[in-house]
Amino acid sequence: MKELKKKHERMTNFSKDLQKKTCPFDNTKFYSDSSVQPECIVTALECASKELQTVASECFSGDFNATVQCTTIGRFIQELLNEPKKATDETTAKTCKACETYPQKSHKDFLNDVETLVKKFNTH
């Protein structure tokens, strides 16, 4: 549990660092929704994990450190999702919205949503 808390703090620090950076394409938007119902948090985090790859390639392709930070956040999310007690059954997942139907947000708002979703996931 202590290791998970350390990883969460590291993810939060990476997210804060990335929010300070500017995405060269101001009109680039990413799918995210931190207001999902508790039963859809896993689905929303799966979406966020995929979108982090897009953030890395579209906003930070020339910035090695930022790309590594995005990848690390994505891995942290995957580790959370692989926890057996947090698994979501297929029936529940089918009632959740698809990633592409979430609101589109700037990279800063997207990263804020990721942090919120991880917090919700950990208290769920």
Q: What is the pLDDT of residues 73-89, one digit of tens each?
A: 898 888 888 876 555 55
Please provide residue 116's backbone torsions phi and psi, each rounded to the nearest 5 degrees. Answer: -60, -45
State the Cα–Cα distance between residues 119 and 117, nearest whole angstrom.
5
pLDDT at 113: 92
Mean pLDDT over 7-28 rounds to: 80
Quick check: 117 and 86 in contact, CB under 8 A?
Answer: no
pLDDT at 26: 67
Query: Which residues is 30 bridged to in the sheet?
Result: 105
E strands, 1-124, are 30-31, 104-105
Question: What predicted TM-score, i.e. pTM, was given to this entire model?
Answer: 0.83
Residue 120 sits at the vertex; the CA angle it makes with 55 and 118, to the nearest 5 degrees, is: 35
Query: Tens digits of per-residue pLDDT, 27-71?
Result: 789 999 999 988 899 999 999 999 999 988 888 888 898 898 889
